[in-house]
Amino acid sequence: MTDTPPLPPLDPPGQHPVPPRRWIEGDLNTWERIEEAMEALRARRPEGAEGLEAWLLDRSEFDSLLSAESNRRYVRWACHSEDEAAHAAWLEFQTEFLPRIKPVEDELDRRWLEHPARGALPRERWAVPEREAELAVRLFREENVPLEAEEEEIASEYGRICGSMTVEFEGRTRTLQELAPYQEEPDREKREAAWRAARRRRLEDAPRLEEVFDRLLPLRQRIARNAGFPDYREYKHTAWGRFDYRPEDCLALHEAIEREVLPLLRRMREARRRSLGLEALRPWDLAVDPEGRPPLRPFTRQKEQVAKAAALLEGVHPDFAAELRWMEAEGLLDLETRPGKLPGGFLTTFEDRRVPFIFANSPPTHGGLETLVHESGHAIHALHARWQEPAGNRDAPLEFAEVASMGMECLVLDGLERIYTAGEARQARSAALEDIVSGLVSIAVLDAFQHEVYTRPEAGAATRRSVWLALQERFDSGVDWSGLEEERASAWLSVPHIFEVPFYYVEYAYAQMGALALWRAWRREPAEALARFRRGLALGGSRPLPALFEAAGLRFDARGEGLRELMAEVEEAWAEEALAGGRR
Q: Which residues bind Zn ion (CB under 5 A)?
A: 405
**What phi, psi does 357 have (nearest 5°)?**
-135, 130
Instruction: Please write down the long-range contacts of 194-200, taking CB distance under 8 Å and 24 or more positions apart.
Output: 194/169, 194/284, 195/283, 195/284, 197/167, 197/169, 198/167, 199/484, 199/487, 200/167
Instruction: Compare residues 348 and 365 and give the one whose CB is closer to Zn ion.
Output: 348
Instruction: Compare residues 72 and 378 and give the one whose CB is closer to Zn ion.
Output: 378
Q: Return d(Cα 524, Cα 530) in angstroms, integer.
A: 11
How many beta carbons lie within 10 A of that of residue 274, not counting itself? 12
Instruction: Compare residues 165 and 539 and give the one whose CB is closer to Zn ion.
Output: 539
Tell me the closest approach of the beta carbon of residue 359 to Zn ion, in angstroms. 12
Instruction: Compare residues 156 and 405 and give the one whose CB is closer to Zn ion.
Output: 405
The Cα diameter of the chain in Å comes to 76
How many beta carbons lie within 10 A of that of residue 331, not counting itself? 8
**CA–centroid distance for 497 within its chain:** 9
Tell me the closest approach of the beta carbon of residue 516 to Zn ion, in angstroms. 15
Tell me the closest approach of the beta carbon of residue 580 to Zn ion, in angstroms. 30
Tell me the closest approach of the beta carbon of residue 22 to Zn ion, in angstroms. 31
Tell me the closest approach of the beta carbon of residue 399 to Zn ion, in angstroms. 11
Sequence-distant (≥ 6) Cβ neighbours of residue 252 within 8 angstroms: 558, 559, 560
Nearest residue to Zn ion, by Cβ distance, number only: 405
Tell me the closest approach of the beta carbon of residue 345 to Zn ion, in angstroms. 8
Instruction: Compare residues 355 and 360 and give the one whose CB is closer to Zn ion.
Output: 360
Given a contact cutoff of 8 angstroms between Cβ atoms, the answer to whether 542 and 125 are in contact is yes
Q: What angle do CA 519, 521, 523 make, to 5 degrees?
A: 70
Closest Cα partner for 566 from 506, 520, 528?
A: 520
Instruction: Compare residues 94 and 405 and give the one whose CB is closer to Zn ion.
Output: 405
- The amino acid that residue 569 corresponds to is E
Tell me the closest approach of the beta carbon of residue 378 to Zn ion, in angstroms. 6
Q: What distance, in Å, lies between the first and last C-alpha atoms of the chain? A: 51
Q: What angle do CA 180, 185, 191 make, to 5 degrees?
A: 65
Instruction: Compare residues 60 and 361 and give the one whose CB is closer to Zn ion.
Output: 361
Tell me the closest approach of the beta carbon of residue 405 to Zn ion, in angstroms. 4
Reduce the DSSP state of residue 359 to 3 states and report it. strand
Instruction: Compare residues 144 and 405 and give the one whose CB is closer to Zn ion.
Output: 405
**CA–centroid distance for 427 within its chain:** 26
Which residues on neighbouring strands pair with residue 336, listed in sequence order?
A: 362
